[in-house]
Structure formats: structure tokens, C-alpha cells
Amino acid sequence: MFSKDEEKEFKAKFWSDLNEELALVKGVHANKVNWTNFNTGIKNIYFRIDIEGDIPKICIDIQFLDAGIREIYYQQFEEFKERLDKSFKGEIKWLPTFEHSNTRTISRISVANPDLNTRNHDEWPAIYAFLIENFQVLESFWAEFNEVFKALK
């Protein structure tokens, strides 16, 4: 069990090391990508790295306040479900409604690896590899299909 200060230091070290690893990774067009603040070009659609319950995951969060608009974008992602399910490495969850920690109802698609735990420092290289590989899959998908989603605006 960690004290509050140890917990804060632990998380800061994890994210700092991850950001160092991400800085070395180029995008699909050999460009520099801000992975931790990825710009989808669509307000209310976010690609995020999340550590929930110490399990690493990549999330597609669809956060439109209007449930109808949120559903349309979620359904558009579902049109690519087979492609994404084949491309991602890990346990994929498709959640049309998800209660975010910010108390908002969103839609979420996530890919996690429940066999990895951020509490185990020895697993950090495998966690970073998992997150990077899946974020690259997502970035490649977005480079190919983002115009389909932008057309929904």
C-alpha cells in the first residue's frame, strides 16, 4: 500500500516514462504526434490512454452532450467494428453508454490488457509496448477513415 505522496510519485514516474517512450514514436505519416493529447479534429471525440484500476487501456471516448449525436458517432465506429476488432491487440469493449468519472454519460470503445498491472514496475516495458502498439493502430485507422467521421459534422 502506498502513502498519498508515494502514490503521486509512482503515477508521475509512470506517466513521465511513458511520455519518454511516446516521444520516440512517429505517426503513420512519419510525423511527430502528441499521443497523450491526440487531436482527432472533432470536438468531443477523444483518443486517450487510461489506467483504470491499474490496468492499461486505450480509449475512444465519444462525449457529445446530445445523446442522439453521440449515438450517431458511436454507430459510425460500429460500422468499422470488424476492422478495429481485428487490428487491436487486447480485450475490446464496446460501450454505447458509459458513466465517465467526470459524471457524464459518454460512449466508449476501449482495448485493455488485464494481464498487465501498472503496480508492477517490471511490467512497465510491456505496458508501454501494449499502449504504443494499440495507439498506432488507432492512429492508422484514424488517418484512413477520419473523413467519414468529419462528414457527420
**pLDDT confidence band for 87 (50 / 70 / 90):** very high
- Provide mean pLDDT across the span 133-143: 95
* DSSP conformation letters of 114-125: TT--TT-GGGHH
Give the domain ranges of the chain.
Answer: 4-150
Cross-strand pairs, 109: 60, 94
pLDDT at 1: 64
* pLDDT exceeds cutoff 80 at 19: yes
Q: Give the predicted TM-score (pTM) of the model.
A: 0.91
Asked whether 71 and 96 are in contact (CB, 8 A), the reply is: yes
